[in-house]
Amino acid sequence: MEFFLIKLVLVLIVFLVSLGVAAYSTYAERKIAAFLQDRVGPDRAGPFGILQPLADGLKMFMKEEIIPTHADKFLFILGPCIMMMTASMTGVVIPWGHGLEINGSFYPMQITDINIGILYVFGVVSIGVYGIMIGGWASNNKYSLMGAIRASSQMISYELAMGMAIIALIMTTGTLSVREIVEQQHGIHWNIFTQPLGVILFIVCAFAECNRTPFDLPECETELVGGYHTEYSSMKLGFYLFAEYINMFISSAIIASLYFGGYNFPFIDQLGLSPNMLSMLGTLIFFGKIFFFIFFFMWVRWTIPRFRYDQLMHLGWRVMIPLAIVNILGTGVYVLFKNGQLHF
What are 273-284's pLDDT values in tens digits? 888 888 899 999
Give the model's pLDDT for residue 240.
84
The Cβ of residue 252 has, within 10 Å, a number of other Cβ atoms equal to 26
Give the model's pLDDT for residue 221.
58
With respect to residue 114, please indicate whether it lies within any of the assigned structural domains: yes
SS3 22: helix
Alpha-carbon span 158 to 206, nearest angstrom: 8
Q: Which H helix or E strand runs over 108?
A: strand 105-109
With respect to residue 52, please indicate whether it lies within any of the assigned structural domains: no
With respect to residue 6, please indicate whether it lies within any of the assigned structural domains: no
With respect to residue 8, please indicate whether it lies within any of the assigned structural domains: no
Q: Which H helix or E strand runs over 339?
A: none
Q: Report the domain count for the chain.
A: 1
With respect to residue 50, please indicate whether it lies within any of the assigned structural domains: no
| Gyration radius of the chain over CA positions | 21
Give the residues of the chain that fall short of pLDDT 70. Answer: 218-226, 344
Phi, psi of 338 (to 5 degrees): -65, -35
Give the model's pLDDT for residue 133.
87
Helix locations, the chain, DSSP H:
2-36, 52-62, 73-89, 117-138, 142-173, 178-184, 196-209, 221-224, 234-259, 275-301, 309-314, 321-338
Give the model's pLDDT for residue 218.
63
With respect to residue 208, please indicate whether it lies within any of the assigned structural domains: yes
With respect to residue 260, please indicate whether it lies within any of the assigned structural domains: yes
Alpha-carbon span 96 to 4, nearest angstrom: 19
**Domain residues for 96?**
63-338
Q: What is the pTM of this model?
A: 0.91
With respect to residue 277, please indicate whether it lies within any of the assigned structural domains: yes
